[in-house]
Each structure stands twice: as structure tokens, then as C-alpha cells.
Amino acid sequence: MQAIRSILVVLEPDRPEGLALKRAKLIAGVTQSHLHLLICDRKGNHADYLSDLADSLKDEGYSVSTQQNWLDNQHQTIIAAQQSEGCGLVIKQHVPDNPLKKALLTPDDWKLLRYCPGPVLMVKTDKTWTGGNILAAVDVGNSDGEHRTLHATIVSHGYDIASLAHGTLHVISAHPSPMLSAADPTFQLKETIEARYRDECRAFQAEYDISDERLHIEEGPADVLIPHIAHKLEAGVTVIGTVARSGLSGALIGNTAEVVLDALESDVLVLKPEAIIAHLEELVAQR
């Protein structure tokens, strides 16, 4: 998070509360990042609005550039700007689609999470981050190299956010229910499963000073437990990650991130491993 030098802020003039910009200013105030403001619209002319907003932000001491653009759809417009401007973070306000529309069409915000090569912060509330709880969600049941690297990235970003907001970092990992038929005896008892998961967390607990009380190892599906713990903690931000599925594109986001996006009451930061980022950058370059 501290290494981010440029932030892409997706502005939507019909949503005057400006939640995405509010978060961007908080992060840029600490990291000294440049703010690139983007309006995705092919019809209206927002030049005056962007100019006035940029002038106001510059008066406050921010480095700012602006852009209005439209490609085939919103998520492609955002990704093209993220790539051309070299932005290390995309910030966008998220408003859930209605259930019927979501059942028929893949929400555009889901597509942004799937295909954007960089981290995406979906802002859902105007709740202050300052002094609050930050939740990092990891799947330590998967301990291959790619997952280990992703876990470290998730916890590191959670730690950075907690530091800039003077908040407290918590970590959650959901584990499966015991199965007497499991080949590995560890997974036959709840106690041994939980012990295994806690062992997997020791390294980043030590590195980021996360006490056992702030490590939540819970039994159940991640897409239920993550929103439950985030609600219980009144988390300001939940940090989650995704690893590629095998199959068609090899770069689709896991279902958990999509499902919890609407279920969570906090802002949501979605991260990807380097291998997926490189693959997605190649796909974007081919368009």
C-alpha cells in the first residue's frame, strides 16, 4: 500500500457523496500518491466539473489529473485507464445490483474485480476508517506457494491500512467441517483442523504482531463467515484475495469475493497474485 504512487479514482457525478474520492484522499494523504480522476461517460461533457474538482484538490495539496472516456463498457474503460496511467490502485464506489438483474447479467463491478490487473478498492460506506477494525481474510487451508504469497500480500495490505487509519488489524480464515472419512487424520476432528490452521498463521502473526485474540479461525463457508466476522467487528475495510481458477481464461476471480462483495457492510479491497496480474495485463494489451 505504501508503494502506490498513483491511484485511479472512478467518479460518478450522479452520486454526489463522492465516497471513492474520500477514500482516495485519505490514502493519498499518507502515501503522497497522485490522483487520476476518471469519469466513464460517452455522452455528457464533464470537463468543467473535472476542472473545478481538480483545482480544488490541488489547492488542498494533492497531485491530480483528470480524464473522461468510454470504451465498450465501464469495466473496460476503467481497466484501460488503469493500465495507461500505471495506477497501482483503483477506487470505485460500489452499489449492489438488484437480485433479478444480477441473476440475469454479470454485474459490471464483478467484471472489474475479475479482469482488472491491479488491486481494486470497492467503497460501500462513508464510515470512517480511523481508529476502527480492519479485517484480512485468508484461506490458509491452501498452502501452496501462490496462496502463501497471496496470504502475505493480503495481511500486508491490511496492516498498511490499519497503520494509515490508526486502526486494529484482525485476520480470519474459514476452515471446513470435520470429516471422519478424510484421508488426513488432521481433518477428522475440529480441534486438529483449527490447530493446523493456527500453525499456518504463525509466521504472519509474528511479522505483523497479530495476537491470538485477533486471529479468527472459524468453521464454515468463507462467504458466510467473512461478512459475519466483519459485521461483528464493525470492520471499516475487508481485504480479500483471489487465485485463478483452472479452465477457460485461467484468470477468473473466485466465487467468494463476488458473493461477499454485496454481503459485506464494509469497504472491500480485492487483491490478486502476481501470476494473475501478469496474465491479465497480457489480455488487456491484446485488445
Which of the four pLDDT bands, split at 50, 70 and 90, describes residue 253?
Answer: very low
Per the structure block, which three cell numbers stand in for 31?
502515501
Question: In what side-by-side order are the strands of the sheet with 64-69?
Answer: 64-69, 34-40, 6-11, 89-93, 120-123, 267-271, 237-241, 133-137, 168-175, 215-219
Predicted confidence (pLDDT) per residue in 46-87, tens digit: 999 999 999 999 999 999 999 999 998 999 999 999 999 999
- Written as nine digits, the cell of 11 is 467518479
Domain chopping of the chain, boundaries: 6-93, 133-286
Residues forming beta bridges with residue 216, ordered by sequence position:
172
CATH of domain 133-286: 3.40.50.12370
Q: What is the mean pLDDT of residues 192-221?
A: 91
SS3 124: coil
d(CA 259, CA 142) in angstroms, rounded, equals 20
174 in helix, strand or coil? strand
Distance CA 241, CA 207 (A): 19
Residue holding cell 460517452? 42
pLDDT digits (tens, 9 = 90+) for 145-204: 777 888 889 999 999 999 999 999 999 999 887 776 666 766 677 788 888 889 989 989
Angle between helices 145-164 and 190-208 (to 10 degrees): 50
Matching CATH number, 6-93, of 1.10.287.610, 3.40.225.10, 3.40.50.620, 3.40.640.10: 3.40.50.620
Kindly report the pTM of this predicted structure.
Answer: 0.89
